[in-house]
Amino acid sequence: MNINASASKAQVVITGAGPTGLMLAAELRLGGVDVVVVERRASGTVGESRAPGINARSVEILTQRGLGAKFLRLGKVLPGVLFSGIPMAPQDLDPEWPSAMILPQHQTERILTAHAVELGARFEWSTSVVDLRQDDRGVEVTVAGPSGPGTIHADYLVGADGGHSAVRRLCEVPFPGDDPVSWWVVGDVALDFPPDGRGVFGRNERIGTYQISRAEPGWFRLSLMRATPPVDRTAPVTLDELREVMRDGLGTDYGLSGARWMSRFSDGFRQITQYRQGRVFLAGDAGHTHSPIGGQGLNLGIQDAVNLGWKLAAVVNGTAPDALLDTYHQERHPIAATVLELTKAQTALIKPGAQNDALRAVVSEMLAVPETCLHLSGILSGLDLRYPLGDVHPLLGRRMPNLTLSTDQGATEVFDLLRSARPLLINFGADGLAATPPAWADRVDYIQAELPASSWHLPVFGEVPACDAVFVRPDGYIAWVNPAGMSLAYDTLVAALKQWVGHTRRGAITA
């Protein structure tokens, strides 16, 4: 597409080709939406670890889209969960706890870019959004690229352009929160004399908890607090600054000889008040910024994208009402608010001082209590998430486990059935449910399977009663349940389909 001073069209424009924007582009393409990704950089992230932590729920989501094996082949599976650097081992309490992993962000972006391109997403690199206007018919996005200025006319715009989001600024969205009081430097560095030869995760009275860990062959991930604030916190980090901060806080720079990426972060925390602004949406760091302690940013963004993608595709395609898009804010805003509060606590615990040392000791003891370990590990891993979809059954609103199903076509796993990002109705033996109700037959996949067990195990929650049938949204969350042994609640199934799929008969949309 050549924007050069001429109008272009797309059903959805996404600004930002980070993990959030890339995941959303792929989700929209699975829904058949024409999508253009606008990215100010000339290419994706190159040689940066940046946001390497991929939590257990994100690994599950990637597996649902057929990408899990690629990530696990390249990444390093984590043996546990860290709370401000304090290890927790939920797998010791629950052997079925799914794995999290570490993978440098440049590799994550490479996989997701290839995935989006394969599905047909279009990209405009070296292109920035400079203005936008919207009305009840669409959004006019003014951009500046290598060929000059141009305009893209779209049905919707999604700002996935990071903590300094241009889309957020142009929409004048309130962004309340806490101003920073402390700063850290971070980067991928080359060290001639790394501590212990392999790196270290340490703590001292001057800068608190610090990290020097091997990111990839030849490169170490460095993260440590500045003992004094930076003179200019907006200035790029330099090697000289890294040496100064290391010597000041650690007494040595361990032979720092180079860096492929350097940055800084702070303990500022902010979240927008509304994720939806008419036909404009904000996702990932564009909607919530916080310190990276705890590794939640990338995971929140990927899960924002998967929540929004199928909903936006259904509305763009005219098979669901506009009100469906309001549930994006309703569901995702509280999740990020909870994570931000937990991240504040973790960030406070990494700071130096005798009082914080004492608090860390107390917290370490608390984290050894099984109930506390499972509760906090559940939040950090994303496995405890429950959307407010009702209380008829404990599975409602929770993640569908990756059960191995026995069908007439052989054994299959639930996650394999979600690869196309379509709604899924699974019948484990409910009488009178031989297929998807006719009005939704073209929109909702149906499978008949044997009931795997009388109860299902969910990490964090333990054993929950099994069901005779479930309706699973494209993002993998259960939106309708027919409890085992109960007569088919056909009316509640129809209500769930109306709410989440919207299409009742050809050409008709219900609110």
Whichever domain contains 241, its CATH number is: 3.30.70.2450
CATH number reported for the structural domain that contains residue 104 in this entry: 3.50.50.60
Looking at the structure, tell me whether residues 227 and 287 fall in a common domain.
no
Residue 70, in any domain of the structure: yes
What average pLDDT does range 355-368 have in this prediction?
97
Domain match, 30 and 109 both: yes
User: Are residues 209 and 67 located together in one domain of the fold?
Assistant: no
Condensed to tens digits (0 to 9), the pLDDT of residues 147-186 reads 899 999 999 999 999 999 999 999 999 999 999 999 999 9
For residues 348 and 416, membership in a common domain is answered with: no
Mean pLDDT of 229-240: 93
Could you say which DSSP state residue 477 is in? Answer: B
Amino acid at 435: A
Does one domain contain both 103 and 242?
A: no
* Contact call for residues 210 and 249 (beta carbons, < 8 A): yes
- Asked if residue 2 belongs to a domain, the reply is no
Residue 372: the pLDDT is: 97
Last residue of a domain, one of 266, 294, 318: 266
Q: What pLDDT does residue 47 have? A: 86
Please compute the mean of the pLDDT values over residues 451-475 and round it to a whole number.
91
Q: Are residues 43 and 164 in the same domain?
A: yes
Looking at residue 44, its pLDDT comes to 86
Q: Are residues 199 and 339 in the same domain?
A: no
Residue 5's pLDDT band, with cuts at 50, 70 and 90, is very low
Residue 391 lies in a domain: no
Using alpha carbons, list the distances in angstroms from residue 42 to 17, 125, 168, 460: 11, 5, 22, 43
What does DSSP say about strands 208-216 and 276-277: parallel, antiparallel, or unpaired? unpaired
Q: What angle do CA 300, 210, 182 make, to 5 degrees?
A: 70
Provide the pLDDT for residue 509.
47
Question: pLDDT digit string (tens) for 181-197?
Answer: 999 999 999 999 999 88
Name the domain boundary from 348, 381, 414.
381
pLDDT at 22: 98
pLDDT of residue 2: 44
Q: How many domains does the chain have?
A: 3
- Give the separation between CA 191 and CA 259, rounded to whole angstroms: 9
pLDDT confidence of residue 96:
92
Instruction: Name the one residue in this structure whose structure tokens are 């972060």.
Output: 265
Sign of CA dihedral 315, 316, 322, 327: positive
Residue 492's domain is classified under what CATH number? 3.40.30.120
7: confidence class by pLDDT, cuts 50, 70, 90: very low
Q: What's the confidence (pLDDT) of residue 504? A: 54
When pLDDT is averaged across residues 445-471 and rounded to a whole number, the result is 91
**Band (505; pLDDT cuts 50, 70, 90):** very low
When pLDDT is cut at 50, 70 and 90, the band that residue 198 belongs to is: confident
Please tell me the predicted confidence (pLDDT) of residue 6: 37
What does the pLDDT read at residue 419? Answer: 98
Query: Do 53 and 141 belong to one domain?
Result: yes
User: Residue 62 domain-assigned?
Assistant: yes
Same domain, 40 and 128: yes
* Prediction pTM value: 0.96
Report DSSP state, residue 399. Answer: B
Question: In this structure, is residue 155 part of a structural domain?
Answer: yes
Task: Let me know whether 237 and 285 are in one domain.
Answer: no
Q: Is the per-residue pLDDT at 11 higher than 60?
A: yes
85 and 162 fall within a common domain: yes
Q: β-strand 424-427 against 445-448: which pairing, if any?
A: parallel
**In this structure, what are the phi and psi dihedrals at residue 134, rounded to the nearest 5 degrees?**
-135, 155
What are 14's strand-pairing partners? 37, 158
Give the residue numbers spanning the domain of 362. Answer: 7-177+270-381
User: Are 73 and 192 in a shared domain?
Assistant: no
Answer whether residue 386 is part of any domain.
no
Q: What is the pLDDT of residue 467?
A: 93
In a domain? residue 63: yes
User: 432 lies in a domain?
Assistant: yes
